[in-house]
């Protein structure tokens, strides 16, 4: 990987160490202890182990930084810097033996994500970016796709959960996009990897409602450094506040926004 700043190196080391747990446990899925957080939300022993390793590694290297993580919540220290962690993004895939999930770590400086890593341990794909230094997949620089006709694009989405208050809206959005594109919409089950795939040009756009900060934090910087757009459904920067996120290459953002209106 061509990014080799101190913070990126800390994140890579944490991901590599934690991924050993995931790779091992992925081969023994039937033996995992699983509990349910809510309808459609599961947490495994692996989630907790991976989170523990990542936090230990990050704290060892940066003891003063704050942490926001999906399972443990918030650890408050120096509020100028905050790690934002999702130990397994795509837990349902992981539980069902589907090799499509990731560790996601973002670093926030003064409320702005300045670097991030999304690591797929099964495929050994490390998506990473740092503000001003570009986005990479392993050792190769990545860029968003150049497709400019929405009907020729591959679009990803996720949700809704069965008890979602926005279910009808999501289904309407799904129908609207389905009528505009030739290739069926993909639902892959990992928002962070959806964003990483937009950054790498593997897909052209992604939209979803009601994601948490840890789902998207690392993806935000990776997409932006790859030349893509991250906005809310109206094309503005309020995606964290109103929990609607639209991720696109630089050419179809306006057209996708029109569909979502």
Which residue has better confidence, 109 or 36?
109
pLDDT value at position 4? 82
Mean pLDDT, range 28-46, rounded to an integer = 62
For each of the domains in the chain, give its residue range(s) and CATH number, in order of start: 6-141 (3.30.540.10), 150-260 (3.40.190.80)
**Angstrom distance (rounded) from CA 39 to CA 173:** 22
Q: Is residue 66 within 8 Å of residue 89, measured between CB atoms? A: no
Give 157-169 pLDDT, tens digit per residue: 998 777 778 888 9
pLDDT digits (tens, 9 = 90+) for 90-121: 988 988 889 999 999 999 999 999 999 999 99
Compute and round to an integer the Cα radius of gyration of the chain: 17
What secondary structure does DSSP assign to 48-113, as a single string? HHHHHHHHHHHHHH-TTEEEEETTTEEE-SEEEEEEEEEEEETHHHHHTT-S--EEEEEEEETTEE
What's the pTM? Answer: 0.94
For the chain, list the strands marked E by DSSP: 34-38, 41-44, 65-69, 73-75, 78-89, 102-109, 112-120, 125-130, 134-137, 140-141, 155-157, 205-209, 229-231, 244-248
């Amino acid at each position: 990987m061509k990014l080799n700043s101190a913070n990126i190196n800390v994140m890579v080391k944490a991901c590599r160490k934690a991924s050993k747990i995931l790779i091992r446990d992925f081969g023994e899925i039937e033996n995992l202890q699983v509990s349910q957080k809510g309808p459609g939300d599961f947490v495994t022993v692996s989630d907790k182990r991976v989170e523990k390793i990542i936090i230990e590694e990050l704290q060892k290297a940066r003891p003063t930084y704050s942490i926001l993580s999906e399972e443990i919540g918030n650890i408050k220290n120096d509020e100028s810097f905050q790690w934002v962690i999702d130990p397994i993004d795509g837990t349902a895939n992981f539980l069902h033996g589907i090799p499509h999930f990731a560790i996601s770590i973002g670093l926030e400086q003064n409320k702005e994500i300045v670097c991030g890593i999304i690591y797929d341990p099964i495929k050994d794909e490390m998506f990473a970016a740092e503000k001003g230094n570009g986005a990479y997949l392993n050792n190769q620089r990545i860029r968003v796709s150049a497709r400019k006709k929405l009907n020729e694009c591959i679009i990803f989405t996720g949700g809704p959960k069965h008890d979602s208050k926005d279910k009808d809206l999501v289904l309407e959005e799904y129908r609207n996009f389905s009528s505009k594109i030739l290739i069926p919409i993909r639902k892959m089950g990992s928002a962070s990897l959806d964003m990483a795939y937009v950054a790498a040009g593997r897909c052209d756009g992604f939209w979803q409602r009601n994601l948490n900060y840890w789902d998207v934090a690392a993806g935000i910087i990776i997409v932006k450094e790859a030349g893509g757009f991250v906005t809310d459904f109206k094309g503005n920067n309020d995606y964290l506040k109103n929990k609607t996120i639209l991720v696109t290459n630089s050419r179809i953002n306006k057209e996708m926004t029109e569909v979502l209106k």
